[in-house]
Structure 1
Amino acid sequence: MLSLVLDQNYKEYFKNNRKNFQEELLKEAVNVREKIKDILMIGNINLLENAHKLVMYTLGEEKEQLEDFARVEGISWASHNLTLAFKLEWVQAIRRTLWQFLQEYDIENQNQFEIIDFFYQLERKVNDGIDQFLNVFFLSYSEYKDKLIEAQRVLVENLSVPIIPITQKVCVLPLIGQIDSTRVHIIEEKALMEIGRLRIHSLIMDLSGIAQMETEVIDHLIKIIDGANMMGCHCVITGLRPELVRKITRLGLSFENKAETKVSLQQALEDYLATK
């Protein structure tokens, strides 16, 4: 009963001294206070209002509301790329200021606890509540970031293998930039999948944007051509640079009998659009 009465009294005390609490909190959070307006503008996140919510949920032991609040905060901070260091400093400042005000309340009301263990119960409740918020917040933040990174990875993979339909039967696969072992596997998966899905008869693979390839990548590219041929798709290679040709011939590899070669993508398109 004593615990319940004091819990309610503490909550009322914080409501009545909300402005003083915020002023002390801003003194504690030295680095964050300079960013409060920026954070509000960037993510529509009111740090002072949210600090009050955290205190009320903690004092009231409203665990479900506290966890829901932490999840929303985690997603909000992650989606707006707000710095975790600021959040940690802010929450720890809330913890310190909260204890300061609890002590002031007890001094003002000359609380004499008949049960000394109550103080330790209060300490556990406050710290457990704050820690619970931080744990759920960081989990929510990390999960959202992981999903965002995965979505961006898939987007980059799709953009890195753009198969462009020219006619119903002819498509172009322009390859640019660095192709490593990871990307060549993505190219293989996407190319063969699209050949089957679009029923491509001729796939023009333009390599004019690639100057160098590792040996294993060249070997894998030839296997992709073999796979396309097995699916009934004729491959055309365009834009081979001299340095890449020299490396392919030194390795004893060849596209002969596997794919047709053209000087440029423009030539291939002129030939195919004229005859296909």
Structure 2
Amino acid sequence: MQSFENFSNYISGNTENLSTEVVEAVLFRMKLNIPEWEKEQALSLYTALFGFFGKSLVDGDENTVPDELINWSKQNAAMQMTNNGKISEIVVRYPVTRDVLTEILTRISIELKLSIEENAFIIKRINNMLDVSLNETVFAFERFSDQFKEETQKELAKLSAPIVPVKDGIVVLPLVGDMNCYRLSHIIDHVIPKIAELNVDHVIADFSGIFTINEEVAQHLHQIGSTIGLMGIHFITTGLRPELAQAIVQRGINYEGDSFATVKQALESIK
């Protein structure tokens, strides 16, 4: 259609000016002050977006979006995650951006004497791109968030049960913080094999740093003690506060090995 060709040629020939207009309008309306590099990134994105948009009106599939837009959306989510930002800080920009683009494209449609139906098609097309961009940004942010949480859990698991050699043949296993199933599984899968490699005779598991204990945690701890005992290593528990000890007894958990109030007492008991 000739009208779409004229519109396409106008858009393709004014990508940089239109990009600048969009970015400046969004920043002004939202009263945002962003770094210059982020502004340049946005200008580059909208330049590519307008170029693709103009071309797609004539010979493109109306259901496709430029790879640049999808990649930018993912990068935007990654940057927000890295800077400890919230996804809402990105999402709130989309309605304003949508309004600005609608106004600009409608103005151009009027200048080029497009029909109401043709203008409606153009607005629908740009909204489709924005919807895809928003979805890709949110999905990417969730993926990065899940990945970050998993990596954080792994680091916390390592810190929550370090192996501390104190004497020849003796190591202390201080259990720290909330011992959830993930951390306890880490101890069973990674810490116990390391203890076996150290060829020790005594393991002192210090519970003084544990906040709370439930039945599932108690069962895991029992499994840890039993596994160490089956390896021929003397298993000693210390630091079981009265409320923790009572919780263990109430849940019918029977710990193998000796128990002392402090690590110092446990060390003194080892001949």
The aligned counterpart of 2:194 is 194
On the 8 A contact 2:161/2:176 being kept in 1, the answer is no
The aligned counterpart of 1:95 is 98
The aligned counterpart of 1:16 is 17
User: By how many angstroms is 1:203 displaced?
Assistant: 0.8
The aligned counterpart of 2:55 is none
TM-score (norm 2): 0.76
* One-letter identity of the residue aligned with 1:16: N
Rounded to whole Å, the distance in 2 between the matches of 1:118 and 1:89 is 28
Q: Which stretch has the larger CA shift, 98-107 or 176-185?
A: 176-185
Q: Which stretch has the larger CA shift, 202-211 or 147-156?
A: 202-211
Rounded to whole Å, the distance in 2 between the matches of 1:117 and 1:247 is 71
The aligned counterpart of 1:63 is 66
On the 8 A contact 2:11/2:50 being kept in 1, the answer is yes
Structure-2 change in CA distance of 1:247 and 1:63 (3 Å): closer
RMSD: 3.4
Rounded to whole Å, the distance in 2 between the matches of 1:252 and 1:88 is 51
User: By how many angstroms is 1:125 displaced?
Assistant: 2.4
- The CA deviation string for residues 186-221 of structure 1, in whole angstroms up to 9 with x for no partner, is 544444333334344321112333576446644553
On the 8 A contact 2:160/2:177 being kept in 1, the answer is no
Q: What pairs up with 1:1-276 in 2 under 5 angstroms? A: 2=2, 3-16=4-17, 19-29=20-30, 33-34=31-32, 36-37=33-34, 40=35, 46=38, 48-61=39-52, 63-107=66-110, 109=111, 111-113=112-114, 118-166=118-166, 169-179=169-179, 184-210=184-210, 213-214=213-214, 217-218=217-218, 220-242=220-242, 244=244, 255=255, 258-269=256-267
Rounded to whole Å, the distance in 1 between the matches of 2:149 and 2:72 is 23
Gapped regions of structure 2 (runs ≥ 5): 53-64
On the 8 A contact 2:15/2:51 being kept in 1, the answer is no
Rounded to whole Å, the distance in 2 between the matches of 1:135 and 1:212 is 40
Rounded to whole Å, the distance in 1 between the matches of 2:162 and 2:235 is 16
- The CA deviation string for residues 238-257 of structure 1, in whole angstroms up to 9 with x for no partner, is 334455556666777665xx
Identical-pair percentage: 24
Rounded to whole Å, the distance in 1 between the matches of 2:139 and 2:225 is 44
User: By how many angstroms is 1:170 displaced?
Assistant: 2.4
Give the secondary-structure state (helix, strand or coil) at the position aligned to 1:82: coil
- The CA deviation string for residues 142-182 of structure 1, in whole angstroms up to 9 with x for no partner, is 11111001111111122122222335632211124444666
